[in-house]
């Protein structure tokens, strides 16, 4: 049940006081006003999920007019009408004005509370649905924003690949890809490694303050797979070793080092996109000449 108060509207001071005390005694939160005009002012200041109102209130708007005005302002509000003149016409008019339910006087408090409980449960469900809707809209918007970012990355990487396809210098080919990598994934250090003929590794390009001293302990090039938790090979607390392949050909390997545990993962779409473009550029370069190691 919702914890928001019910708004009780009745111009009869005695009945209003009796209902207020009975509902408060049974654990309901209730605010009470003596007219439809006062009720309309109250709903401007606070959201009441349920309004309990008398039908006939001389000297101002009726209960039906109050219900219509409240529903026009906030369709989520559920209005319950009580009246001593219940009839089919009253029921039809109540429904047309948007009333949730109505009860005929005299009534037992337990009968009224059963209606209020249903209304409060209904209001709670409406609020849950509203929350789910907001969450869904936020998810769709976030997904749309992700797609826009991804589309821009596709265009940027296509431009980089086009720019580097016919370039004969390995460092010139790598430079724009590594700039993209630093900007998008923010590693604290990286090394681009080349396999040589002795099943060992040579450094083609590197960045970062770590010594990169342990590459002699890497797997043989033919056995290299994408591995997490290889920070120790470059002295970083967190690291990834990623093969760069073209079919069955292992062209190079990339080690990414992070000073702290990161959310990065090499299977995320953005990195996969980057890796595929770099592999295409490296393959184009290898067809022309061998990659030269960093002296």
- Indicate the pLDDT class of residue 66, thresholds 50, 70 and 90: very high
Q: What is the pTM of this model?
A: 0.58
Peptide bond into 106 cis (omega under 30): yes
CATH of domain 165-288: 3.30.450.40
Residue 213: predicted pLDDT? 57
DSSP class per residue in 37-96: HHHHHHHHHS--SEEEEES--TTS--HHHHHHHHHHH-TT-EEEEEES---HHHHHHHHH
Q: Is the pLDDT higher at 234 or at 164?
A: 164
> pLDDT digit string (tens) for 187-232?
999 988 888 766 667 788 888 877 665 555 566 665 666 655 555 5
Question: Is 165-288 in the same CATH topology as 6-131?
Answer: no
Domain positions in the chain: 6-131, 165-288
CATH of domain 6-131: 3.40.50.2300
């Amino acid at each position: 049940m919702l914890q928001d108060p019910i708004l009780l509207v009745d111009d009869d001071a005695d009945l209003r006081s009796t209902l207020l005390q009975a509902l408060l005694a049974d654990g309901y939160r209730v605010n009470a006003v003596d007219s439809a005009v006062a009720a309309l002012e109250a709903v401007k200041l606070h959201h009441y999920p349920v309004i309990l109102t008398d039908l006939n209130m001389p000297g101002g708007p009726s209960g039906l007019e109050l219900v219509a005005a409240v529903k026009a302002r906030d369709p989520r509000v559920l209005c319950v009408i009580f009246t001593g003149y219940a009839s089919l016409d009253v029921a039809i008019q109540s429904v047309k004005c948007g009333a949730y339910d109505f009860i005929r006087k005299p009534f037992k408090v337990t009968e009224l509370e059963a209606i209020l409980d249903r209304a409060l449960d209904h209001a709670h469900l409406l609020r849950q649905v509203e929350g789910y809707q907001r969450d869904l809209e936020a998810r769709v918007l976030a997904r749309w924003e992700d797609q826009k970012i991804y589309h821009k990355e596709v265009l940027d990487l296509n431009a980089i690949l086009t720019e580097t396809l016919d370039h004969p210098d390995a460092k010139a080919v790598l430079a724009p890809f590594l700039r993209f990598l630093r900007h998008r994934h923010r590693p604290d250090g990286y090394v681009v490694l080349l396999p040589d003929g002795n099943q060992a590794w040579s450094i083609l390009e590197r960045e970062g303050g770590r010594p990169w001293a342990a590459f002699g302990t890497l797997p043989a090039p033919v056995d290299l797979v994408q591995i997490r938790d290889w920070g120790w090979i470059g002295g970083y607390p967190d690291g990834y070793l990623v093969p760069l392949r073209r079919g069955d050909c292992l062209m190079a390997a990339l080690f990414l080092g992070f000073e702290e545990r990161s959310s990065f993962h090499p299977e995320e779409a953005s990195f996969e996109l980057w890796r595929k473009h770099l592999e295409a550029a490296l393959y184009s370069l290898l067809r022309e000449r061998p990659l030269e190691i960093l002296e």
